[in-house]
Amino acid sequence: MKLYEAPSPNARRVHIALAEKGIEVERIAVDIRGGENIGADYLAKNPGGRVPMLELDDGTCLGESVAITRYLDALGEGPSLFGDTPLSQAQVEMWHRRAELNFLLEVAGAFRNITGFFKDRETCVEAWGVVCAEKAPKALAMFDEQLAKTEFLAGNQFSIADITMGVALDFARSVKVVELPEMPNIKRWQVGLNARPSFSAG
């Protein structure tokens, strides 16, 4: 299998899943700044035009980091990143959607619209980026309250929800477009995440 990737939060989600599931793949660097991901060759494999993308040995291509993670989860070793029981699967889905919709998308909206990083291919509205930057930190209280009760976001088992939220927080801090308040339970949980070999590998 080949993973098409670039230094980016969505590729990092897959790097972490690969490490958690003990899977190795060939890695192919894609120049997203230069627009390789929106060129005809890449779009023929992944019409979504984004990284990451996983190409299977039979040529099948999977876009979307969470779809790729689901595939790796089923192939690899260890506990599921998507929950093992009907209830835990629903709880993982609930917290994962909150992490993506309430936090990651706001951080991405702030980054893309304020910095204009991809302004060669999309309209950037700085004022919208500022709105996103204001909304992202407001979402954190809900996650902090949950982490006061449980070890991980969806309960006592590490899941895709932790991967997405941990990666989004690290990305928000590294690009410095969003001001994040320090929250005690999130802090405790992040110390645990950072101690996982998968987080340093990713």
Ligand X SMILES: N[C@@H](CCC(=O)N[C@@H](CS)C(=O)NCC(=O)O)C(=O)O
- Catalog residues that contact ligand X under the rule CB under 6 A: 8-10, 32, 37-38, 50-52, 64-66, 118, 121
Is the distance from CB of 4 to CB of 48 less than 8 angstroms?
no
| Shortest CB 122 distance to ligand X, Å | 7
Where are any strands of DSSP class E within 42-194? 53-55, 61-63
Residue with Cβ nearer ligand X (49 or 79): 49
Residue with Cβ nearer ligand X (18 or 147): 18
| Shortest CB 164 distance to ligand X, Å | 9
| Shortest CB 65 distance to ligand X, Å | 4
What are the Cα distances from residue 115, in Å, to 92, 173, 178? 32, 14, 12
Residue with Cβ nearer ligand X (21 or 50): 50
Report how far residue 10's alpha carbon sits from residue 64's, in angstroms, rounded to the nearest whole number.
8
Which residue stretches of 51-116 are H helix?
65-75, 86-98, 105-115
SS3 of residue 54 by DSSP: strand
Where are any strands of DSSP class E within 42-182? 53-55, 61-63
| Shortest CB 136 distance to ligand X, Å | 16
| Shortest CB 141 distance to ligand X, Å | 25
Residue with Cβ nearer ligand X (15 or 50): 50
Residue with Cβ nearer ligand X (114 or 183): 114
Where are any strands of DSSP class E within the chain? 2-5, 26-29, 53-55, 61-63
Is the distance from CB of 44 to CB of 52 less than 8 angstroms?
no
Least Cα distance to 160 among 21, 66, 36, 85 occurs for: 66
| Shortest CB 117 distance to ligand X, Å | 8
Residue with Cβ nearer ligand X (51 or 147): 51
